[in-house]
Amino acid sequence: MGSRTASKDIITLRGSAAIVCEFFGYAANSILYNRGIYPEESFVKVKKYGLPMLLTQDEGVKSFLAGLTSQLTGTHLKVLCLFDLPSYPFHLNASQEWMEAGKLQRVVLVIMSRTTMEVLERWNFSIQTDAEVVEKGLIKEKSDKEIMREIQAIMRQIASSITYLPCLDEPCVFDVLAYTDMDVAIPFSWIESDAKLIENPQMVKLHSFDTKIHKVDTLVSYKNDEQD
Amino acid sequence: MILRTPVPKKRRPESVVEDLHSPVSDRRLVRYEEPGPITAVEPSDEMVCTYHCRQMVKSEFMAALNNAEKQVAEYQAKLELMNNELTQSEDERTKFRDSILSLEQKLEASKGREQALQERLLKEVDEFMERYKEQVKQCSELEVQLSKEVDSRKKAELSFTSAKERATDLEGRLQRLSDSAEREKNIIKEERQHLQDDSKLSARKMTADVCFLERMTLRAEISERESELLKKQLNGLRKQLDECLCEKNALEQKLATYPIPLQESTSSEDKNLVKYLQEQIRGYEAEVQEARKFKAFHTNSELLKEKLIEEKGRREKVEVELSKLQDVQLSAQKLELELVSWKSLLEELPDVSSLSDIPKKFAALQKEAIQNMMEVSELKAQLKQLEVALELGENKRQHYEKESCLEKQRANNAALEAKRLQMMLSSVTEERDRLKKEAAMLSKLKNSHESGPPNETLVKDLESSLADRENTIKELQTNLHEQQGVVNHLHDELKILSEQLSSEARRVKSLEREGDRLRAEISLLESKLGHGDYSAANTKVLRMVNTLAVDNETKHTIDSLREELKKTQSKLQAIEELKGQSDAANIIDDGIPEKLAQLKSQIATLEKREERYKAVFAEKISIFRRACCLLFGYKVRLNCRRCLSVPLGHEMSFVSFNRTIGFALNREDPFAANRVKDDEGAALDLATTRGLDPSLVLNDHPKNTCECCATMAEASELMDEAEAMEEPPSMMR
């Protein structure tokens, strides 16, 4: 996916967007597994980024994440919605390439209590896009190995986050928020929402990775245990 | 010692000269010229003449000889002294020569050292000049940076003052906001109090109504009991009346059959009997009137019951309103909480005068946050630059400190060297003076003794060397002065550098403080960024609707929407068919779709209402059936054999009444008929008051099966139960 040549390590905007969305998909799965949002037996081990990564087999979650990543990349595939109504009006024109248009600022994975819907954790993925590349369609060069190494470091940090994050003793649900520019047309399956913030959170900054076109910073903020 | 010399023979004057040239004589001695008598003594004939003369001459000669010997001895002693002095002077001369040589060596060494010192000093001076130039450049650069820092500081102070002013403005606005919020809060409190008062009043009214109702119920119960008693009495009286009427009829019949002559004998009895009967009739009439009164009272009791029902309905309404009041109170509490939250938000947010300003303020704050972030990034860059400059300054400071220490050491060494040179100079001058004195003494001796020329050359050499030494000493003194001047200059430079170092240190501290402050600001802003804050003017937060938790619910809602859609589509088709069948094709109405929509909505509401009414009716009818059965002697049975035509093709259960009458009555019995009519009228009234369809209530079934009905007390109890069971249908709301 994406126009990356192995010989010269050239990266285009589309390729970089694909890398970032792929990373987000795996990162979301890793978070869901490590935080125990879904049972362990619903995950399958695959090899990615030189690490054993876990992917959910829950059809609902899979379709949700697939729809999410398709919206983020803006690939004009059939959006795998949770309800399949042929007469339902899909505004595919509105689902512009958020990532490829440089309109996506942040993606936040929010973990909430199922009963009280209180926000317990926020996994914040900030995205900085090179405006020059978006405007002029330039091509950058960066080694794939370097990018994979950076992503690998982040994945390791996500896996090791259970050492300092508080235990989630109650059943939880997750949701995904997308911070976009104001001029983005809202697709049909998306609505405006509040930021679902945590009061007086504890924050831990993780590593970041850079494709020379998109720079992704990872930060996790969680509810302070002492407040309880 | 007197040297006895032989009598001098008549020597020739040449022999005296030979004597002088003899090896014994020392040429070094001063030529001694005897006086004439010794050399000029020539034996003359006159002396030979006499011995006395010879003896006299001899004595004179001897005396002269003795004198000469004495003089020689003296001269020899003097010569020895002179020789000694000469040796001494030679020794001294050698010593002086050695000392001069050593001095020359020392001088040469000192010259070499001086040259080396000079070269080194020149080098150092050159280096110091270069460093001085560099330091001057750095000072100029630092001054430029200082001016920039001062400018930035002034800007910061200006921004600080502007921020202070803004803060004061914001505080004023905040106070105004807080005042307005307090006012609103007070208004809301007052309203709440009003509401509470109203609710209390209504509650009191309700309690009063409830008490009144209870009293009325008690009265109704009492009146019911009285009515029951009266009814019993009425029934008894009716029975008695019937009996009396029967007896009367019998008596009349008897009277009609009795003969006339007997009438005169029995007239008094008849009169008495008539009187008695009239009295009974009056009594019965009175009782009938009382019964009628009781009946009226009963009707009044029924009216009271109806009123009771109405009051109960009102009570229920009041209870509903009470529950609504509780909801209102909850909503008021929520509003208060919201107000408190808004107030806190207003307190947190400056420059906000009303709720509508909050989004604008949020946008402005987010813009400010973004600007602050940009400023923070710029400040970060400046901080890094300052840190780099700080490190450079510290390195330079350390370097300068080291150089200053080295220069101090060099200055100390130069001072020590100068002191040493001064001491050397003083020693050399002392030696020079001493040598001068000795030279003077030697020259004096030279002048007195007129010795050989080699001593003069030595003295001249000494003098020349002394003059050279003096020159060198002068040069050394000048160099020493110069070096002292250089050392003083270096000391001054050291002072200036130390002052610069202290100022740089102060600047470094201020930069460190600013760096800490900027780091704190950066951490604050980073925390805000990590917290998830965003600018509403540039950013919006979206989430997918199809969350996993709502999956099934959406499916259900979608299915229900589908069904509704199908229904509406079918209705639309039906309407369109109707429309096609009517003459609406000739009439072009532009508002048909709107009318259709209105009709559809009306249909939907009516259908809902119908369903609600059905549910309510089903409840009410069951209660009504029982009440009717008990009160009026009608038992309602559901008969599903017959179906009525109802719109939409729904089947409805057929309601029939089985008349149950507690005592034997004929249809022709006017009273029974009246009773039945009254019962039917009461049932009708009851049905109408309860909102039931009267046609459904009265559907006379030809069966005249009689069944026992409960007493009035049981009927009243059942009525109470029915009223207690009555609840306004939820659909009716």
pLDDT of residue B501: 79
Whether chain A has a CB inside 8 Å of the CB on B566: the answer is no
Which of A8-17, A95-104, B248-257, B487-496 has the weakest average pLDDT? A95-104
Give mean pLDDT, residues B186-196. Answer: 80
User: Which neighbouring-strand residues pair with A111?
Assistant: A121, A174
pLDDT greater than 60 at residue B454: no
CA separation for the pair A201, A227 (Å, rounded) = 10
Q: Pick the residue with more confidence: B726 or B240?
A: B240
Question: Nearest Cβ partner of B531 from A81, A175, A221?
Answer: A221
pLDDT in tens, B43-62: 455 445 566 777 788 888 88
* Cβ atoms of B294 and B227 closer than 8 Å: yes
Task: Give the containing element (helix H, strand E) for B183.
Answer: helix B51-257
Query: Nearest CA to CA, how far is B536 from chain A (Å)?
Result: 8
Q: Pick the residue with more confidence: B438 or B23?
A: B438
SS3 B611: helix
Whether chain A has a CB inside 8 Å of the CB on B31: the answer is no
pLDDT of residue B56: 81
Task: Give the containing element (helix H, strand E) for A205.
Answer: strand A201-210
CA separation for the pair B216, B221 (Å, rounded) = 8
pLDDT greater than 50 at residue B580: yes
pLDDT of residue A174: 93
Q: Pick the residue with more confidence: B11 or B220?
A: B220
Q: Pick the residue with more confidence: B173 or A97?
A: B173
Which of A42-51, A200-209, B478-487, B541-550 has the weakest average pLDDT? B541-550
ipTM: 0.83
Count of CB atoms situated within 10 Å of the CB of A106: 22
Q: Express as a percent the part of chain B with pLDDT over 70.
A: 67
Match 């009410």 to its residue by tokens. Answer: B620
Spell out which residues of chain A touch residue B546, defining contact as CB-CB under 8 Å: 64, 67, 81-83, 189
CA separation for the pair A62, A75 (Å, rounded) = 17
Give mean pLDDT, residues B654-680. Answer: 45
With an 8 Å Cβ cutoff, are A193 and B534 in contact?
no
Which of A17-21, B145-149, B674-678 has the weakest average pLDDT? B674-678
pLDDT-based confidence at B19, cuts 50/70/90? Answer: very low
Is the Cα dihedral B493, B494, B495, B497 positive or negative?
Answer: positive
Spell out which residues of chain A touch residue B543, defining contact as CB-CB under 8 Å: 175-178, 190-191, 193
Structure tokens at B451: 């010795």
pLDDT in tens, B374-392: 876 777 787 787 778 778 7
pLDDT greater than 90 at residue A119: yes
pLDDT in tens, A153-183: 999 999 999 888 999 888 999 999 999 988 8
Please list, in sequence order, all residues whose beta carbon lies within 8 angstroms of the beta carbon of residue B524, skipping any fewer than 6 positions away: none
pLDDT of residue A48: 93
Spell out which residues of chain A touch residue B548, defining contact as CB-CB under 8 Å: 60-61, 64, 82, 173
Please list, in sequence order, all residues whose beta carbon lies within 8 angstroms of the beta carbon of residue A210, skipping any fewer than 6 positions away: A142, A147, A150, A216
Mean pLDDT across chain B = 71
What global pTM score does this model have? Answer: 0.34
pLDDT greater than 50 at residue B660: no
Whether chain B has a CB inside 8 Å of the CB on A173: the answer is yes
Residue in chain A nearest B553 by alpha carbon: A83
Give mean pLDDT, residues B529-534. Answer: 69
pLDDT in tens, B609-642: 888 888 888 888 888 888 888 887 766 565 544 4
Mean pLDDT across chain A = 82
pLDDT of residue B142: 80
Q: Pick the residue with more confidence: B654 or B527?
A: B527
CA separation for the pair B617, B288 (Å, rounded) = 40
User: Which neighbouring-strand residues pair with A204?
Assistant: A220
